[in-house]
Amino acid sequence: MRSLHIILSSVALLCAAPLPAAETYENDTPWSYQRILRPAIPAVKDTAWPRDDIDRFILARLEKDNLHPIGDAPRLTLIRRASFDLRGLPPTQQEIDLFLRDSASDDIAFAKVIDTFLQSERFGERWARHWLDVVRYADSVGRVWNAPFTYAWRYRDWVIDSLNADKPYNRFVAEQLAGDLLPATTVLQKRDQIVGTGMLALGSVNLQEGSYEQFVLDQVDDQIDVVSRAFLGLTLSCARCHDHKTEPVSQQDYYALAGIFYSSRTLPGQANRSDMNGSGYVDPEMLVDLPTQLDEAVGPPAKLPAGIHSMDDIRALGNPKTTIRYDVDPHFCMGVIEGEIKDCELAVGGDPFDRKAAPARGALGMPALPPLPKIPAKSSGRLELAQWMTQPTHPLTSRVAVNRLWQHLFGEGIVRTVDDFGTTGSDPTHPELLDHLAIRFVEGGWSVKKMIRAMMLSRTYRLATAGNSEHPDAGNKLRWRMNPKRLELEPLRDTLLHLAGKLTFDRPEGIQVAGTGGKGRHGLTRGLLSPEDPFRTIYLPVVRDNIPELFSTFDFPGPTQIKGQRDVTTVAPQALFFMNNPMVEELSAEISGKTGKDVKAIYRAVLGREPSSEEIHDAAELDLQTLVQALLGTAEFRYVF
């Protein structure tokens, strides 16, 4: 088998090779399928404004329409913007004072801030949540029988740790597709790679599906959907029942890809009712047994989890009237391993009982895209799929990745449909900039932190947010100003706890879901942590069909969805939360107690700035808890400008 290690270790050599200069694309191929071309850096009239080539692409497009960027945001705005973008928390007063008093130029002083925030462990907690939205992370399966994913938290923590370590993005992708098949030099590395495959096991499937073949095909479809949309920005699962209606993807292509996952065994810790072996919906034999030495084969566990000593102890696991709390075994995780190797027969109209000849695994015929490496007869093809997706010249992987990074920093992607780079998606507003960033990303070793740093140190990121409804580009399509961004649920809740002195940066220990599932909307599965607990929001369990009301109030995405960009709604319950929620009232009292009777200290803590003389005067009419609660409900607190 050709080792992916060879591919990944040679990335530097491949990246060093010059990419082709810009040329005319063929008109009949969608833009996103076409190879990435190195665009020329545009000349600009205002040569003093750019700080990076990113700025030159932005400014050249503005100057084409005789437009100019707005002025820079002040330092106080910049550090708050950067702190929430990188850590999901406000800057401390000490950090603010240090930045404001730094006598270095804005370029140098802001670079110090960015570098400090990027090295914080809080970075991984902030950015992991972005990725978990994309891969439909949850701590339960949902659907008809909402049984718990007892080891989903291992994958969640793997994402956090991978981002903090700045694991190269090509490696990050490869481990989620084929971590069990990649070479490793230590047992800890091998175990870590296997945990990454948990992404493929997080799908919401019907455990009560009576047809096992239907169940497997549904599981495979979920895997195709998340892999194609997360990494490629394509809706390949639309070709399950017929040729894709809008993309150059045939049903043959779909089943050529399906064969890869059809030949893999998914081990989420749960079993379909046809494959339960008497153990119930939560099945300890449906987990991956992590190796303790490098030459161990990876497979389902040969032993039962801690706290369960025999099959007789499995207490009732299928009894919907029983709630069970699970112990942790350090050698188990959810994930994917090699299964029975066989191509997947084409299902006519998606019918599992009406089949045609199976296309060869990996035999994709999508135009302009490179072919998959040849898949050995005794391999699923996940390793070769990972090789294909992470090759430096793949036209989609790097484009989709840098677009996601841009979207989280600037509020909208260069391609605004971040999960859809197909023909029904949006065209890029700055196609040359997108390709420039994609090439730069690969040539920079696929470093996420390096790319984020470059984007944030650009002059474009540092623009003020002041708008003008009469501006020719009032919608800011051309990036003449910065978009205000409303804080999501996680930084809102985390900041409330942090300001009150209650937030802990410890990770909760053990399995944080209980129950065996059950029929109906909620079943019996529940999280063992609530929004009132002191942990960062990313560590609170996400139980499908039973998320806390606070989550849905602030647009937390449905955990069965692949959601690269969250909805932003404005509804009455959001205002009511800050006005009369007991949690907000309690935390407001804690915050006012910490700041004493100093109105200036309250403004500095909540809004990160000094109050005006008028605000100080108005505050005299309020008790301090009411003042704090009023400030928490303002747009200035809830938005990053």
Tell me: pLDDT of 621 over 80. Answer: yes
Confidence grade of residue 274 (pLDDT, cut at 50, 70, 90): confident
Per-residue pLDDT, 322: 53
The position carrying tokens 């239907």 is 214
The residues near 359 (Cβ < 8 Å, ≥ 6 apart) are 252, 253, 255, 256, 259, 343, 346
Question: Is residue 9's pLDDT more than 50?
Answer: no
Band of residue 309 on the pLDDT scale cut at 50, 70, 90 = very low
pLDDT of residue 17: 38
Mean of pLDDT values over 484-508: 97
Instruction: Write down the pLDDT at residue 258.
Output: 98
Residue 185 CA from chain centroid, whole number: 28
Q: Compute the average pLDDT of residues 136-146.
A: 93
Short-list 46, 47, 52, 51, CA closest to 105: 51
Contact 538, 128 (CB under 8 A): yes
Q: Quick one: tokens of 626?
A: 């009411």
pLDDT value at residue 570: 94
* Cα separation values, 522 from 123, 140, 323, 387, 516, Å: 33, 11, 13, 40, 11
d(CA 161, CA 121) in angstroms, rounded, equals 9
Query: What is the reported pLDDT for 302?
Result: 58
| pLDDT (tens digit per residue) in 96-106 | 999 999 999 99
Q: Which residue has the higher pLDDT, 319 or 294?
A: 294
**Residue 21 confidence (pLDDT):** 42
The answer, as to whether pTM is greater than 0.75, is yes
What confidence tier does 27 reach under pLDDT thresholds 50, 70, 90?
low
Q: Residue 485 forms beta bridges with which residues?
A: 640
- Residue 514 three-state SS: strand
Per-residue pLDDT, averaged over 290-312, amounts to 66
Give yes or no for residue 297 having a pLDDT over 90.
no
Given a cut of 60, whether residue 214 has pLDDT beyond it is yes
Alpha-carbon gap, residue 567 to 477, rounded angstroms: 19
Amino acid at 554: F
Considering all CA atoms of the chain, what is the largest pairwise distance in Å, rounded to the nearest integer? 79
Q: Provide mean pLDDT across the span 70-89.
A: 98
Average pLDDT value for the chain: 91
Determine if residue 610 is left, alpha or beta; phi over 0 gives left, psi from -120 to 50 gives alpha, anything else beta: beta
Mean pLDDT of all residues in 55-82: 97
Instruction: Using pLDDT thresholds of 50, 70 and 90, give the confidence band for residue 316.
Output: very low
Query: pLDDT tens-digit profile of 342-351?
Result: 999 999 999 9
| Structure confidence at residue 518 as a pLDDT band (50, 70, 90) | confident
Helix (H, G, I), strand (E, B) or coil at 632: helix
pLDDT at 107 over 90: yes
CA–chain centroid gap for 207, Å, is 26
SS3 434: helix
Compute φ and ψ for 580, nearest 5 degrees: -145, 15
Give the pLDDT of residue 213: 96
How far, in Å, are 242, 271, 275, 310, 578 from residue 281 at the CA level? 33, 6, 9, 16, 40
Residue 562: the pLDDT is 97
pLDDT in tens, 536-594: 999 999 999 999 999 999 999 999 999 999 999 999 999 999 999 999 999 999 999 99
Residue 327 is predicted with a pLDDT of 82
pLDDT score for 12? 34
| Strand, helix or coil for residue 513 | strand
Band (283; pLDDT cuts 50, 70, 90): confident
- Indicate if the pLDDT at residue 310 is higher than 80: no
Predicted pLDDT of residue 26: 52
Confidence band (pLDDT; 50, 70, 90) for 510? confident
What pLDDT does 549 receive?
94
pLDDT digits (tens, 9 = 90+) for 157-199: 999 999 999 999 999 999 999 999 999 999 999 999 999 999 9
Structure confidence at residue 277 as a pLDDT band (50, 70, 90) = low
